[in-house]
Amino acid sequence: MTGFPGTQPMHGDEVRLTIDTATVTFTGEVSSQGVLRDGRGFVELTLPDVDPQQRRDVEWAKQFWYELYRGGALLYSSPPLTLSEIRRTGDGSLVIAGSP
């Protein structure tokens, strides 16, 4: 499944995030949601922030794409995205935003 995710969040338990030539796997509560800001579409991927090295790897990336899984089943496969923002939520989760 590819394309742009809708505004309703998709929830999974694993994300395989590809940055440059490396793939980083995040496990735990994850979600993906399409958002509109200033007339542009973005994908916000919310991940558990458990490994500082994974966070640093993502912070250096310029582009990424990801696959969202739940129970081993692929829910969503993104197109290549340009990283536009990385931030933390109040509960410590990591939010990565990108656009096609």
Q: What percent of the chain has pLDDT over 70?
A: 94
- All domains in the chain, ordered by first residue: 10-99 (2.40.10)
Convert the pLDDT of each residue in 58-92 to its tens digit. 888 889 999 999 999 999 999 999 999 888 888 88
30, 14 in Cβ contact below 8 A? yes
Distance CA 38, CA 44 (A): 15
pTM of the predicted model, to two decimals? 0.84
Neighbours of 35 (CB within 10 A): 13
pLDDT band at 12 (very low <50, low <70, confident <90, very high): very high
Q: Which two tokens stand for residue 93?
A: 């989760």
